Amino acid sequence: MYDTILLPTDGSDGIGAAARHAGTIADRFDATVHVLSVVDSRNRFESPSSGLSADAWLEAERERAGTAIDATVAELPDDVSVETTQREGVPKTEIVDAVTEIPADLVVMGTHGRTGLDHYLIGSVAETVVRESPVPVLTVQLSDE
Q: Output the domain CATH number for residue 9.
A: 3.40.50.620
- Looking at residue 53, its pLDDT comes to 74
What's the mean per-residue pLDDT of the chain? 86
- Buried/exposed 79-111: b ≥16 CB within 10 Å, e otherwise: ebebebbbbeeebbebbbebbeebebbbbbbbb
**pLDDT class for 82, splitting at 50, 70, 90?**
very high
pLDDT digits (tens, 9 = 90+) for 3-26: 999 999 998 888 999 999 999 999
- Looking at residue 37, its pLDDT comes to 97
Helix and strand counts by DSSP (H, E) for the chain: 5, 5
pLDDT digits (tens, 9 = 90+) for 24-51: 999 999 999 999 999 988 766 555 545 6
81-89 and 32-40 beta bridge pairing? parallel
| CA atoms within 13 Å, Cβ hemisphere of 137 | 19
Global model pTM greater than 0.85: yes
Domain that holds residue 45: 4-141
Report how many domains make up the chain: 1
- Looking at residue 51, its pLDDT comes to 61
**pLDDT class for 55, splitting at 50, 70, 90?**
confident
Task: Choose between 104 and 141: higher pLDDT.
Answer: 104
- Looking at residue 86, its pLDDT comes to 97
